[in-house]
Amino acid sequence: MILHPVRLAAEAFAQFGAVVSAPAPGTRCEVGPSRNLRPAAAACLRWTTARATALPLRIGTMERHRFSSQSFVPLGPARWLVLVAPHGAAGGPDMARAHAFVADGTQAVTYAPDVWHHPLTAFDDGAAFAVLTFLDGSGDDEEFVTIAADVTVGD
């Protein structure tokens, strides 16, 4: 199966979380909504950089955070992959119903709790992001699964 990513739009992404565009100069906006479903979990703000990845890209892993939203805020111009999938009958991601988007450096994304998504993948070298997740140090913080189906994100 080949997924062809489209430009990220809030309406198309709404069932998986929220998209917010950079605010106008001199203003601010909320990135979120951030959600923490465990009282013992604390906010964890990370700063991460990504190496450039080219398409086509074979999808081998998906992840989710069952009890926390996860927000990605680009810290500069960067194009990046936003790949999401609903839950399948077996409990993992249903890759046959996956959606692929390309976000740019003016768009932040918040995945809602329990949403399957691909790990951070940027198309531009040196892309930097602030990432907010709620963690309590348990195995429930995150779950990674290997994708058995042949799924590729193409041009």
Residue 152 in tokens: 């590729």
Average pLDDT over residues 9-23: 95
Please check the confidence at residue 155 and state whether its pLDDT lies above 90.
Answer: no
pLDDT in tens, 84-141: 999 998 889 999 999 999 999 999 999 999 999 999 999 988 899 999 999 999 998 9
In a domain, 98, yes or no: yes
pLDDT digits over 35-53, tens only? 999 999 999 999 999 989 9
**Does residue 55 belong to any structural domain of this protein?**
yes
- Distance, in Å, from the CA atom of 19 to the CA atom of 44, rounded to the nearest integer, reads 20
Unique residue bearing structure tokens 């994100």:
153
- Counted domains in the chain: 1
> In percent, how much of the chain has pLDDT > 90?
84
The first and second tokens of residue 85, run together, are 């999938």
In order, the DSSP letters of 51-67 are -B-PSSEEEEEEEE-TT
Is residue 154 domain-resident?
no
Lookup: tokens for 136: 């309590």
| Residue 19 domain boundaries | 2-23+31-148
The first and second tokens of residue 6, run together, are: 């489209």
